[in-house]
Structure 1
Amino acid sequence: MPKAMDQHVQETFLYLSQASQNTWTPNTDVYETPDVLVVKMELAGVEENDVTVTVEGRLLVVRGVRHDPCRQKRCSFQQVEIDYGPFERRVLLARPVAGDRIEVRLSHGLLTVQLPKAS
């Protein structure tokens, strides 16, 4: 129980530190297979060259920007629900991973990061 509580506190701290910045936070799923941890993020409209993925120990950090197509134009909005600008998501991984062997793919608006488990 204390270990689960400690992880919950760490995840809450990560969420609050992200929320306090001037960024948006993409929706994220994290799951595990026998060999890898998989992190998926909704990044519709984000270009591959506008995303960076880093791993430091058990912390995965995804940063980038979704450009606002109306920024350079004169737009009169009827409704605004999509977040634009910089984003950041920090994910505390459940176990150590081989950070030098991660695979990253952005396809159809989903970023998929596969992190092989450390031996």
Structure 2
Amino acid sequence: MVLVRYNPWQELNALQRQIDRVFEDFPASISAKVPAAELHETEEAIHLKLELPGVEAKDLDIEVTNNAVKVVAERKSETKTEDNGKTRSEFYYGKFQRVIPLSARIQNTDVKAEYKDGILNLTLPKTEAEKNKVVKVNLQ
């Protein structure tokens, strides 16, 4: 019989490796499902830019209310057949949506949209009430 010295750290290291394997793809899978957004607000409008790589314009559904933008899209999978080898993909395929609340009320009937190279640009003009929101306060 061979005596083996007990190492308590060995069990903890094995547990850590198992936990790492569980969460290995977790951040990539979450961020891929929600398109990245960029908002820029001017006095006249709010400019929204969404990153939607791999999505065709016909697969986009955009709804604009006076205080939010909802984008629903679908990234369709490419079917590939390979005889040998394995494929590991971090791409997300399927439907996803994002609702972006806006900091000001907008005129949703005058929205301008442009979609090029996987980037959706929306120009959301503010309502007249929002444009004139600045109030001067007089001190007496």
1:63 has 2:72 as partner: yes
Cα distance in 2, alignment partners of residues 77 and 90 from structure 1: 36
Give the match for residue 91 of structure 2. Answer: 82
More strand by share: 1
| Residue type of the alignment partner of 1:43 | L
Q: What residue ranges of structure 1 are gaps of 5+ in the alignment?
A: 1-18
| Residue type of the alignment partner of 2:37 | T
**1:74 Cα deviation from its structure 2 partner:** 2.7
Give the match for residue 132 of structure 2. Answer: none
Cα distance in 2, alignment partners of residues 24 and 46 from structure 1: 12
Cα distance in 2, alignment partners of residues 68 and 33 from structure 1: 38
Instruction: Report the count of equivalent residues.
Output: 96
Say which one has the larger Rg.
Answer: 2
| Residue type of the alignment partner of 2:105 | P
RMSD between aligned alpha carbons?
Answer: 1.9
Query: Per the alignment, in what secondary structure is the counterpart of residue 104 of structure 2?
Result: coil
More RCO (CA 8 Å, sep 6+): 1
Query: Per the alignment, in what secondary structure is the counterpart of residue 82 of structure 1?
Result: coil
- Deviating 4+ runs (over 4 angstroms): none
Q: What residue ranges of structure 2 are gaps of 5+ in the alignment?
A: 1-29, 129-140
